[in-house]
Amino acid sequence: MPADVEVVAVSSSPRHTMSKQTLPEITLLAGLGVAGDAHAGVMIKHRSRVRQDPTQPNLRQVHLVQAELHDELAGRGYPLRPGAMGENITTRGIDLLSLPTATTLMIGSTAVVQVTGLRNPCTQLNGLHDGLMKAVLERGEDGQLIRRAGVMAIVLAGGAVRPGDRITVSLPSSPTAPLAPV
């Protein structure tokens, strides 16, 4: 892993909004998510999933997006600020989408999250920029849908997370499972 794996920005929103406000610091709470964020909790908080089954465990406590995606999208006419796509943590220097399920990320000196899967992009992205949802979806050579709107995680150990914090990646033991939508 490169030495420059870090947090670029942190964001949160107490309401169910697409974009989140960029903050100087967020606090991760073990087993819950981001303190004060609308998606924090033991059980699922995403409204569409709550309508399906409110008893589902919350595997989407923290949303992470790599800044390199923002850079790429800006070059394609979709300028985005950190937090705009609903992410809580914007990273740089790590290909989040290539990580296997159950990868742990130590963020700063105490916070630890475990990657649970891919974010499934929704049409609300088009409210930011017309065509943005399609821009974060691709088809692989095998025809499989590739989701590029970030990863979701649960909080294993709480703590403060700030821009500039280092991220240490720990891959799970083999055999590993590729990321799937959660």
In Å, what is the CA distance from 43 to each residue of 53, 61, 112? 10, 9, 19
Other CB atoms within 10 Å distance of the CB of residue 50: 13
Per-residue pLDDT at 2: 56
- CA dist., res. 153 & res. 60, Å (int): 6
Other CB atoms within 10 Å distance of the CB of residue 110: 12
Predicted confidence band of residue 50 (pLDDT cuts 50, 70, 90)? confident
Q: Which CATH superfamily is domain 6-168 in?
A: PK beta-barrel domain-like (2.40.33.20)
Share of the chain above pLDDT 90, in %: 91
Per-residue pLDDT at 161: 98
Per-residue pLDDT at 51: 87
Q: What is the mean pLDDT of the chain?
A: 95
Other CB atoms within 10 Å distance of the CB of residue 101: 17
Provide the whole-model pTM.
Answer: 0.95
User: What are the φ/ψ torsions at residue 174 (nearest 5 degrees)?
Assistant: -75, 150
Predicted confidence band of residue 47 (pLDDT cuts 50, 70, 90)? confident
Condensed to tens digits (0 to 9), the pLDDT of residues 89-133 reads 999 999 999 999 999 999 999 999 999 999 999 899 999 999 999
DSSP H or E run through 151: strand 151-157
Condensed to tens digits (0 to 9), the pLDDT of residues 141-171 reads 999 999 999 999 999 999 999 999 999 999 9
Residue 173 has pLDDT above 90, yes or no: yes
Residue 73 has pLDDT above 90, yes or no: yes
- Cβ(13)–Cβ(37) under 8 Å? yes
SS3 67: helix
DSSP tag of 56: S
Per-residue pLDDT at 160: 98
Residue 3 has pLDDT above 80, yes or no: no
